[in-house]
């Protein structure tokens, strides 16, 4: 276990840069600041490239910290000043792990969730966490979605981000591939069927952003629309809540 005391250290500079999407895309790395997420990742066999721990946390009796220190090859202790510099959080957690982005693969033999324009990181993260909990592991996100490696997305998704098969779609290329081999169901506020009409073992289910819903091009290619019936006293649900209800019915 090594100690870093300078803000000018190259590793610390790199960590600070990873707060920026451009650097995450360039390096193929991202950071996690939640001790439970890091610990759960290790239990699942997913090891971070490096972990940076505050001096106070490194000397604590927390068993999870001891396990992280014993299992990760690169461990660095950092002081309070550095901890505050690299953290995205208002109150730094005292730990930051660097992970390599996982490369997802298009899966045409199972059910897929397609996220169209989910631009709020909290909603995106909640959907990812919910999808994993209910057994939906193939998630495709288009360019209108929030960055899946944004710290707000990660905080909401917990370790789901490390366990799901995540695909980033560009110009609907992946969507068109899925459309060729499975039915497409798109959520729609105005009209549609109960989610339970979906009986196939493989399908593509599309959720759109709260402001504009599923875009017109995808709606035009959907086999059927899905709609949640509500009391009429409220116009719509938060997209993450609606997603949870529908996926629960289809689990």
Q: Is there a single domain that holds both residue 148 and residue 56? A: no
In this structure, is residue 140 part of a structural domain?
yes
Query: Number of folded domains in the chain?
Result: 2
In this structure, is residue 85 part of a structural domain?
yes
In this structure, is residue 69 part of a structural domain?
yes
Domain that holds residue 214: 112-250
* H-assigned helices in the chain: 10-17, 21-27, 35-43, 55-58, 63-71, 80-86, 121-133, 151-157, 160-163, 173-181, 216-221, 239-250
In this structure, is residue 105 part of a structural domain?
no
Q: Over the stretch 160-176, which tens digit does the pLDDT of each residue have?
A: 999 999 999 999 999 99
pTM check: above 0.75: yes
User: What is the band of 232 on the pLDDT scale with cuts at 50, 70, 90?
Assistant: confident
Domain boundary among 44, 66, 100: 100
User: What is the band of 237 on the pLDDT scale with cuts at 50, 70, 90?
Assistant: confident
The CATH number that applies at residue 198 is 3.40.1280.10
Does pLDDT of 235 surpass 80?
Answer: no
Q: Is there a single domain that holds both residue 140 and residue 92? A: no
């Amino acid at each position: 276990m090594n100690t870093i005391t300078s803000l000018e250290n190259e590793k610390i500079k790199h960590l600070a840069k990873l707060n920026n999407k451009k650097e995450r895309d360039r390096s193929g790395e991202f950071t996690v600041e939640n001790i439970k997420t890091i610990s759960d990742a290790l239990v699942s066999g997913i090891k971070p490239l490096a972990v940076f721990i505050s001096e106070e946390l490194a000397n604590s009796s927390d068993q999870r910290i001891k396990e992280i220190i014993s299992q990760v090859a690169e461990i660095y202790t950092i002081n309070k000043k550095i901890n505050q510099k690299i953290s995205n959080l208002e109150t730094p957690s005292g730990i930051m792990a660097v992970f390599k982005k996982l490369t997802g693969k298009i899966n045409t033999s199972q059910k897929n969730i397609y996220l169209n324009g989910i631009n709020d990181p909290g909603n995106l993260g909640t959907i990812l966490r919910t999808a994993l909990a209910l057994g939906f592991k193939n998630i495709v996100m288009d360019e209108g979605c929030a960055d899946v490696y944004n710290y707000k997305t990660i905080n909401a998704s917990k370790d789901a981000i490390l366990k799901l098969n995540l695909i980033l779609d560009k110009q609907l290329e992946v969507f068109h591939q899925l459309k060729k081999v499975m039915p497409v169901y798109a959520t729609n506020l105005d009209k549609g069927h109960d989610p339970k009409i979906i009986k196939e073992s493989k399908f593509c289910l599309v959720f759109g952003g709260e402001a504009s819903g599923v875009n017109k091009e995808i709606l035009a290619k959907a086999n059927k629309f899905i709609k949640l019936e509500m009391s009429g006293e409220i116009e719509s649900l938060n997209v993450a809540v609606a997603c949870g209800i529908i996926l629960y019915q289809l689990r």
